[in-house]
Amino acid sequence: MITFLQKYRKEINLLTKEEIADLSPSTIPDYWISVFQADAFSERKSRLLAAWNNVVAEEMSITISYLTDYLVEIEMVEWNGFYSIIYGVQNPMNEVLYYEGRNPLDSFNNDELKRYWSQTPASIIRFYSELHNGFYYYASESMGLVPVEEICYLDDYEWGIVDDLEKPLAIRFSSSFGFFANGMGDHVVIDYSQIHQKWATLWFHDDQPTYGIEFWDVIDEWTTIGFQV
């Protein structure tokens, strides 16, 4: 695992059980400490997936089911003072794909989103504050919920597709953020000016958007699709 991880982040290191035990209790969540106190992989996996079920059992049931069957490695890593859990997930070709779940205790580093964060649906806040600050394919930092600092503010970009839209634009870029990235320029977007409606949009960089989608349905489905590539 470490050889693969260091291809993309040279300073990353796997932590031993003893190194994790020596961390300050305020550095990582209590459930992380519990996971890595276990010696047996089966017990680590059970404790980790229990945390997923406590936070997003309904919202990410397909993802949790896949992890239950195909999660084969769990490690904690450190780089430059930051901590993550690395998930080794087996795909249908018997390859192991590495996913990163960052530390939910990380500082909130997104000035534009901070203005709207209190309006964010409680289920999303729970994910980011209790489970992980993003969960995505490690090598590309995509095919998953991105870390807070990487959540895309649509108003920061030029979107050529706007000139080719078949219907008038139905979201406001100035209040829209992409929480899920597929690595090809497409996002699952929340427009905070429409937060009380069916509140997400599939925003494509080169195709017509799909409005009024259920946020978690798409997140759950697309995350699981990523596991199977």
Q: Residue 25 has what pLDDT?
A: 83
pLDDT digits (tens, 9 = 90+) for 100-159: 999 999 999 999 999 999 999 999 999 999 999 999 999 999 999 999 999 999 999 999
Rounded Cα gap, residues 44 and 215, in angstroms: 29
Model-level pTM? 0.96
What residue type is 155 in one-letter code? D
Output the six-digit token pair for 155. Answer: 């108003």
Q: Residue 195 has what pLDDT?
A: 81
Q: What b/e readout covers 193-216, taking b as 16+ CB neighbours within 10 angstroms?
A: ebeeeebbbbbbeeeebebebebb
CB atoms within 10 A of CB 33: 16
Helix (H) or strand (E) holding 191: strand 187-191
What residue type is 137 in one-letter code? Y
> Does residue 218 contact residue 186 with C-beta atoms inside 8 Å?
no
Spell out, as residue ranges, where the chain has pLDDT lower than 50: none
CB atoms within 10 A of CB 85: 24
Q: Residue 198 has what pLDDT?
A: 66
Q: Residue 165 has what pLDDT?
A: 96
Output the six-digit token pair for 176. Answer: 């829209």
